[in-house]
């Protein structure tokens, strides 16, 4: 061990002093390697926080890398470095970057047909809805441009149809910038605002209830108040690391929701990685509403929500609900011809059953590689796979609730691994240690990660001085 060993206060099993030394070394190397990105960031005075969207400040080193080009599973930055991209736009590019079928469909619509913002539907929208219906099982679909909007509108519909005010979510869930979802469990059991919530319109406990993932007792206790319109949840948590459902949990949720006349909304935006019909089909789930976004557009903004026939009929039959004009459900550009063309191409030609077989096999390979490294160093870490998505974390056993997952977060360790990998040609999802496979990802891409992850961990635990980065 290094001479300056500090007792490790975290459960991740690493020497903090050594970790900090390695992190500083990698961040310095990142700075040296990326002068063009550093310059672009330094000059971005017109932007709020120097980035086009403030979350892009989530970086493991001093500034974000700037995109030049992207194809398939690879991106190239403006300093000319090419990376294997395991972040894939945090699922927005699960189909790979600019897949040929989507590129052609979009080009055809723009160049040959025209009509990017027209107040008329295209016939193709029926095909897009039919793709979603056959994959996810619910028969009536409506489109948005983001998953956030799909969730917002689904929530409104659930309130309208049940006449109840509240939405129940899981602690440390993420469903986009949806006010009702920014709640976590608290010691008094009432729920508390998620730390960092920006400008909440009212106290979140007025609009929401919360239960831990995998906690049926907590769910029952909250639903028993009789004021919950819908449970909005992911079939597996994916935004606080992956937290998989325990056996019987999702069946229990369905039974409790039905028992308390509460609708069940499954947000499949990320769990779509579980298979061609998401977790809903893979695990034979029976939601009343499904929301989804990101991957279905192959990189073009698209989102959607699906309803059971009964729910759709009940909503359409309500003369008091303004579903057409100012009722708060819809967006001018939602369902536009370009977005719809992209959904048809992505679901019809890119994210096929065969593509999912390939992605799942790669994810298994990725998981096995990480497991070997963890075992070789006897680290108290774990790796979790959900279809085409794999996540490693610094706890073993893997957390079973969102709160447990939040508690084992280790920012310095994340930053070290992300920067180490970026300096050698691998991009991980900035918010956690998540890797997603696309149809264009290869075994060589996965094996590169395995060997670099192994090297990064070896340096972290090895008994030699911290050297300079290669």
Ligand X SMILES: Cc1ncc(COP(=O)(O)O)c(C=O)c1O
Q: Which residues contribute to the site for ligand X (CB under 6 A)?
A: 90, 146-148, 151, 174-176, 234, 239, 267, 269-270, 293-294
Kindly state the smallest distance separating residue 247's Cβ from ligand X, in Å. Answer: 22
Kindly state the smallest distance separating residue 381's Cβ from ligand X, in Å. Answer: 23
Please classify residue 4 by burial: count the beta carbons closer than 10 Å to its beta carbon, then call 0-12 exposed, 13-18 middle and 19+ buried.
exposed
CB of 85 or CB of 90, closer to ligand X? 90
Kindly state the smallest distance separating residue 324's Cβ from ligand X, in Å. Answer: 24
Cβ neighbour number for residue 313 with a 10 Å cutoff: 12
CB of 239 or CB of 401, closer to ligand X? 239
Give the single-character DSSP code of 95. Answer: T
CB of 269 or CB of 441, closer to ligand X? 269
Q: Which of 75, 363, 402, 396 is nearest to 234 (CA)?
A: 402
Q: Backbone phi, then psi, for 357, in 5-degree steps?
A: -60, -45
Distances (CA, A) of 412 to 367, 381, 420: 22, 15, 12
Kindly state the smallest distance separating residue 303's Cβ from ligand X, in Å. Answer: 7
CB of 236 or CB of 466, closer to ligand X? 236
The Cα–Cα gap between 34 and 29 comes to 9
Q: Which of 97, 100, 96 is nearest to 438 (CA)?
A: 96
Do 380 and 11 form a contact (C-beta atoms < 8 A)?
yes
CB of 29 or CB of 289, closer to ligand X? 289
CB of 105 or CB of 295, closer to ligand X? 295
CB of 96 or CB of 369, closer to ligand X? 96
CB of 12 or CB of 87, closer to ligand X? 87
CB of 395 or CB of 434, closer to ligand X? 434
**Rg of the chain over all Cα atoms, to the nearest angstrom:** 23
The Cα–Cα gap between 437 and 273 comes to 9
Kindly state the smallest distance separating residue 460's Cβ from ligand X, in Å. Answer: 29
Sheet holding 74-77: strands in order across? 67-71, 74-77, 82-85, 426-427
Kindly state the smallest distance separating residue 86's Cβ from ligand X, in Å. Answer: 16
* DSSP 3-state percent helix, strand, coil across the chain (nearest 5): 45, 15, 40
Kindly state the smallest distance separating residue 181's Cβ from ligand X, in Å. Answer: 9
Kindly state the smallest distance separating residue 243's Cβ from ligand X, in Å. Answer: 12
Which residue minimizes CB distance to ligand X?
176
CB of 12 or CB of 146, closer to ligand X? 146
Kindly state the smallest distance separating residue 291's Cβ from ligand X, in Å. Answer: 7
Distances (CA, A) of 200 to 29, 180, 196, 328: 40, 9, 10, 19
Kindly state the smallest distance separating residue 170's Cβ from ligand X, in Å. Answer: 11
State how beta strands 426-427 and 192-193 pair. unpaired
The Cα–Cα gap between 121 and 44 comes to 39
Cβ neighbour number for residue 221 with a 10 Å cutoff: 13
Q: Which of 356, 404, 428 is nearest to 87 (CA)?
A: 428
Do 402 and 243 form a contact (C-beta atoms < 8 A)?
yes
Kindly state the smallest distance separating residue 147's Cβ from ligand X, in Å. Answer: 3
Instruction: State CA 85 to chain mean position distance.
Output: 15
Tokens of 2: 């290094």
CB of 15 or CB of 234, closer to ligand X? 234
CB of 34 or CB of 239, closer to ligand X? 239
The Cα–Cα gap between 432 and 414 comes to 7
Kindly state the smallest distance separating residue 172's Cβ from ligand X, in Å. Answer: 12
The Cα–Cα gap between 413 and 177 comes to 27
Do 268 and 278 form a contact (C-beta atoms < 8 A)?
yes
């Amino acid at each position: 061990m290094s001479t300056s060993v500090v007792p490790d206060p975290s459960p991740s099993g690493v020497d903090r002093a050594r970790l900090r030394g390695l992190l500083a070394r990698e961040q310095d190397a990142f700075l040296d390697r990326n002068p063009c990105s550093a310059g672009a960031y330094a000059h971005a005075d017109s932007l709020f926080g120097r980035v086009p969207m403030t979350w892009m400040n989530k970086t493991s080193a001093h500034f974000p890398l700037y995109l030049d080009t992207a194809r398939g599973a690879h991106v190239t930055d403006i300093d000319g470095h090419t990376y294997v991209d395991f972040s894939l736009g945090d699922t927005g590019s699960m189909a790979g970057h600019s897949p040929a079928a989507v590129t052609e469909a979009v080009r055809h619509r723009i160049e040959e047909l025209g009509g990017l913002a027209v107040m008329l539907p295209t016939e193709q929208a029926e095909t897009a809805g039919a793709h979603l219906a056959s994959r996810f099982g619910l028969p009536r679909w409506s489109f948005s441009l983001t998953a956030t909007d799909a969730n917002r509108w689904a929530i409104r519909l659930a309130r309208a149809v049940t006449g109840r005010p509240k939405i129940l979510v899981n602690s440390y869930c993420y469903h986009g910038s949806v006010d009702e979802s920014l709640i976590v469990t608290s010691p008094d059991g009432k729920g508390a605002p998620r730390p960092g919530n920006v400008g909440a319109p009212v106290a979140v406990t007025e609009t929401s209830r919360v239960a831990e993932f995998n906690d049926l007792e907590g769910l029952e206790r909250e639903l028993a108040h009789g004021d919950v319109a819908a449970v909005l949840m992911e079939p597996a948590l994916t935004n606080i690391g992956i937290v998989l459902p325990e056996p019987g949990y999702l069946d229990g949720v369905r039974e409790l929701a039905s028992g308390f006349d509460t609708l069940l909304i499954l947000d499949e935006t990320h769990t779509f990685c579980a298979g061609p019909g998401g977790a809903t089909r893979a695990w034979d789930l029976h939601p009343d509403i499904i929301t989804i976004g990101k991957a279905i557009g192959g990189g073009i903004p698209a989102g959607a929500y699906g309803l059971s026939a009964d729910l759709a009929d009940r909503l359409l039959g309500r003369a008091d609900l303004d579903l057409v004009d100012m009722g708060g459900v819809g967006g001018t550009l939602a369902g536009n011809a370009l977005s719809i063309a992209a959904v048809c191409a992505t679901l019809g030609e890119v994210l096929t059953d065969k593509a999912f077989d390939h992605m799942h096999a790669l994810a298994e390979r990725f998981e096995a590689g990480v497991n070997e490294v963890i075992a070789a160093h006897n680290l108290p870490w774990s790796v979790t796979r959900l279809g085409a998505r794999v996540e490693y974390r610094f706890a073993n056993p893997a957390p079973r609730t969102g709160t447990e997952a939040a508690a084992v977060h280790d920012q310095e360790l994340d930053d070290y691994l992300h920067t180490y990998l970026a300096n050698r040609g691998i991009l991980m999802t900035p918010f956690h240690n998540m890797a997603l496979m696309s149809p264009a990802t290869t075994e060589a891409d996965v094996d590169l990660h395995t060997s670099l992850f192994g090297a990064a961990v070896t340096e972290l635990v090895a008994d030699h001085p911290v050297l300079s980065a290669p």
